[in-house]
Chain A
Amino acid sequence: MRPLYVWIAMILWTAVAAWIATAARRRMGAGASEFFIGGRRMQGFVSGMTYAATTYSAFMLVGLVGLTYRSGVGALGFEMTYLIFTVIFLVVFGPRFWLVGNRFEHITPPELLAHRYESKSVAVVAATISFIMLIPYSSVQLMGAGFLVEGLSDGRIPFMAGVLVMALLSGFSAWWAGMRSVAWTDAFQAVTMLVTSVIALVFVAFQFFGSPGEFVTTVTENNPELLTFDWDPKLFIGLTLPWAFFALTNPQVSQRMYVPDRIVSLKRMIIYFAAFGFLYTIISTLFGYQAAALLPGLENPDEAMPTLLTQVPTLLGLIIFIGIFAAATSTLGSIILTLSSLFVRDVVKHIKPDVPERTERRLGRMAMLGLLAACIVFAWFRPGLITVISSMASGGLLVMAPAIIGAFFWRRGTATGALISMAVGGVLTAVMYLGNIYPFGWWPSVWGAGITTVLYVAVSLFTTPPSGAGEFIDWLNEELEAKGFRRSRRSRR
């Protein structure tokens, strides 16, 4: 593809996103809450789409397509299992995060943990784990953009050009009006991701197979091995487990449970996200089957989608490229904004509690620059461990799950239990991933989850719970009934 076309697509896309971010800024009010979580004034559609665009990155149309291309229907099972867990977690934890966040004016998920465990150190450790795991993960998004433009232009657009354009775009969106501009551009990008991928999928089905029915017949006859499920259970569980808890452990998505303006928006957020995830997962896996039927024998399965792009007309290739670029940009912008909020609220305010809100925003913006610079440098070196890094990020964040779940449901959960489980579990999981250690064939994420849970429970039982833990949980249960999130005992009778 001619480099000029790729440049035009990126510039046009950047212009539209910048225009949306500018419009969002006009609606932005004062205060840290306004900047970092949109003042808790987001409506259902925007909340749902920003949740979806933050969750679904370039992994879907590159990584998941490649995974389906290589190993078939297990890829769909892995991604659908993630979606099932996320929908359940949103139903269970969405109202809890939303109520507690509103009542106690939390802006970051670690603030909620600090409140419940009555320990700011818990927030600092949770924020630190998030930085360590999410900065490399963000760099992977940048690298994805770099590889994509490099591949599309046959190397005539350098890798770093793609990296820098994406960094600039996502950074601008987060910098300009915080959550409001990120959420609005996310909503636009989510719609773009869905529409472009549907157009491309249907086009390929008709153009190369004759019809969607013929496509199904061709795959069934020529690639039957991709429709049988032969994954090792240890692989399936090891890969799926960290993603299953993604909704709780990744602050860039759990923070979004704070943003809906009212209960009806929270409900819509869950439904819009679920519908988006369902369709996008099916579309991404079907691309994998299309690539397997049309482009057999690729050595690197991650090249399946970029190679498919070279087989379609230029305009369509650019449309899909924009969809992938949008997916990566929206994920990166959201992570940068969330990490900047963690830096200000959970680290800086821990050291200097009386920071004025105006200064919080300024510090947040400075943190964004630092985070983006770190991501760009990381991407510059093009570490060859992309898969390991991505797995480690999700597996590493999983160590926060017991402390988060216990915060809402277990009165005996203590700050020491939370601290030790997250710190020890985090280090052990990272060491296992980096050292490629898979005891008895089970993945580090499985060991990490087990060790963390045991540590959290055992240490909590031997230490004293915070004095307000019971009160916190009782208050929350009463609020859930009062706000109609669950039926009261009286009305059940």
Chain B
Amino acid sequence: MKGRTFLVLAVALVAVDLLVPYLFLADIPSFAASFLFWTALTLLVIIAAAGYIRHWGKE
């Protein structure tokens, strides 16, 4: 992945991390709202990172 693409994705991720709970989930009193969102987002990032580094050292 090119550095610029990576940077754009990272900035988009930070925006999603902040904006989604504030704009769409803030008032929902449920574990299925902000709690689930941040948990799922973090899990996705970890899975994506695992996929990205899988090929390290193989080339």
Interface residues of A (CB under 8 A from B): 73, 76-77, 80-81, 83-84, 87-88, 90-92, 95, 216, 219-220, 224-225, 227-230, 233, 236-237, 262-264, 266-267, 270-271, 274-275, 278, 281-282, 285, 409, 481, 483-488, 491
Chain B residues lying within 8 Å of A264, measured Cβ to Cβ, are 57
Q: Determine if B30 and A84 form an interchain contact, defined as CB atoms under 8 angstroms apart.
A: no
Query: Which of B10, B38, B39, B52 has the most C-beta atoms of chain A within 10 angstroms of its own C-beta?
Result: B38
Which residue of A76, A233, A270, A285 contacts B22 across the interface (Cβ within 8 Å)? Answer: A233
Which residue of B is nearest A273, CB measured? Answer: B46
Q: Give 22 pairs: A residue, B residue, CB < 8 Å, sorted on A.
A: A73-B34, A76-B39, A80-B38, A80-B39, A80-B41, A84-B13, A84-B45, A87-B46, A88-B45, A227-B31, A227-B35, A228-B27, A228-B34, A237-B18, A267-B57, A271-B53, A275-B46, A409-B3, A483-B57, A484-B55, A484-B57, A487-B55
Which residue of B is nearest A91, CB measured? Answer: B49
Interface of B (DSSP majority class) = helix
Interface of A (DSSP majority class) = helix
Interface size class of B (residues with CB under 8 A): 35 or more
Chain B residues lying within 8 Å of A224, measured Cβ to Cβ, are 29
Chain A residues lying within 8 Å of B3, measured Cβ to Cβ, are 409
Which residue of B is nearest A409, CB measured? Answer: B3
Given A88-B45, A267-B56, A484-B56, is A227 in contact with B39 using a C-beta cutoff of 8 Å?
A: no
Given A220-B29, A233-B22, is A485 in contact with B46 using a C-beta cutoff of 8 Å?
A: no
- Distance of A485 Cα from B21 Cα, bound (Å): 34
Chain B residues lying within 8 Å of A282, measured Cβ to Cβ, are 39
Which residue of B is nearest A486, CB measured? Answer: B1
- Distance of A229 Cα from B25 Cα, bound (Å): 7
Which residue of A84, A270, A274 contacts B41 across the interface (Cβ within 8 Å)? Answer: A84
Which residue of B is nearest A78, CB measured? Answer: B38
Chain A residues lying within 8 Å of B13, measured Cβ to Cβ, are 84, 88
Q: Determine if A216 and B58 form an interchain contact, defined as CB atoms under 8 angstroms apart.
A: no
Chain A residues lying within 8 Å of B53, measured Cβ to Cβ, are 91, 267, 270-271
Q: Determine if B46 and A274 form an interchain contact, defined as CB atoms under 8 angstroms apart.
A: yes
Chain B residues lying within 8 Å of A76, measured Cβ to Cβ, are 34-35, 38-39
Chain B residues lying within 8 Å of A488, measured Cβ to Cβ, are 59
Q: Determine if B31 and A220 form an interchain contact, defined as CB atoms under 8 angstroms apart.
A: yes
Give chain A nearest CB distance to B34 CB in angstroms: 5
Give chain A nearest CB distance to B55 CB in angstroms: 7
Q: Determine if A73 and B56 form an interchain contact, defined as CB atoms under 8 angstroms apart.
A: no
Which residue of A is nearest B50, CB measured? Answer: A271
Chain A residues lying within 8 Å of B56, measured Cβ to Cβ, are 95, 263, 266-267, 483-485
Chain B residues lying within 8 Å of A227, measured Cβ to Cβ, are 28-31, 33-35
- Distance of A245 Cα from B37 Cα, bound (Å): 22
Chain B residues lying within 8 Å of A220, measured Cβ to Cβ, are 29-31
16 further A-B contacts with Cβ under 8 Å, apart from A76-B38, A227-B29, A487-B55, are A80-B38, A84-B17, A91-B52, A91-B53, A95-B56, A227-B34, A229-B25, A229-B34, A230-B26, A237-B18, A262-B57, A263-B56, A267-B56, A271-B46, A274-B50, A484-B58
